[in-house]
Amino acid sequence: MISIIICSRTKHLAEPLLSNIQETIGVPYELVIIDNTQNKLTIFQAYNIGVSKSNFPFLCFMHDDILFHTQDWGKAVVRHFEDKLIGAIGIAGGKYLSYMPGTWSSSGFWEQNIIHTDKAENKVALEAVIKTEGNKTEVTAVDGVWFCIPKRLFGEIKFDEKTFKGFHYYDLDICMQIVNKGYKIYAVFDVLIEHFSKGSLNRSWMENALIFQHKWWFKLPVSLLNLSTKEQYDLEIKILNQFLDMLRSIKSAKEVNKIAFKLLLWYRPAFKVAYTPILLFRFLKKSLIN
């Protein structure tokens, strides 16, 4: 029923995870473990290999440092995909996928059903944040810690191992492919997992963020929100400033300013705003001073 695909950093999965899956999934399943202990594969390559080796109609892509807190979560997955318009589900997702480089949660309009635990200090850092009634809400993209896609879609989509490197943006890129094929994506609240590590927005993430923006700029932003042009522009500027603050740690001021100017210049909705030239001037003046 469900093929669980994991890109593993160890030769063998931890026994607690294996037992947890067996005891909680509630449907027939197979484990498709891609051994990446030598770190020779990108996450894109590993997941494509996993898809090719899978045998069941529903594919579950997940990290190897999680545990399930929901009994029969596999049945919930199957129920969600009874709706043939649903192309992917996850346990965390955002309502606005920005034009400016950022995460699925950068806009602040997001929901998740997950427990983040600091393994070193054995404490809960963040519990489920659900703002919508019901067992799911439509989102523009889901987080890669755990997400599921019907296998039949992989006749139309594929993890883009040619464009991206490393271990970031595989989730947002595959979600963009799914949305552009006319399917919907949902964050679901009837599956609860616990995650034992924190993601890192490092150099690799920043580089893939720019690659993602370059690949999809003509399709971004993707929004499920009713924002005015001014509200959307202000949100994009906020996300851009967050990204540039990170980018300054790995690039020179000249390179950062060049990237900022290009992003602002080609931001299509900006040209609908009468005060765009003033904001552009103020932004660049501040950026150049810094």
* pLDDT tens column, 59-78: 999 999 999 999 999 999 99
Distance (Å, whole) CA 55 – CA 1:
9
pLDDT score for 289: 46
pLDDT score for 260: 85
Dihedrals phi, psi of 138, to nearest 5 degrees: -70, 140
Cβ neighbourhood burial of 288 (10 Å; 0-12, 13-18, 19+): exposed
pLDDT score for 26: 98
Q: Are 88 and 148 in contact, with CB atoms under 8 Å apart? A: yes
pLDDT score for 25: 98
CA–CA distance from 241 to each of 171, 200, 259 (Å)?
Answer: 23, 18, 12
Q: What is the mean pLDDT of each run of 10 residues along the chain (290 residues)?
A: 94 92 98 94 98 98 95 98 98 95 91 82 66 90 97 98 96 98 97 84 92 94 91 89 91 88 73 53 54
pTM confidence score: 0.91
Kindly list the strands in the beta sheet with 123-126, ordered across the sheet, starting from the edge strand earlier in the chain.
66-68, 193-195, 114-118, 123-126
Closest by alpha carbon to 167, among 106, 210, 216, 208? Answer: 208
CB atoms near residue 79 (< 10 Å): 12
pLDDT score for 264: 79
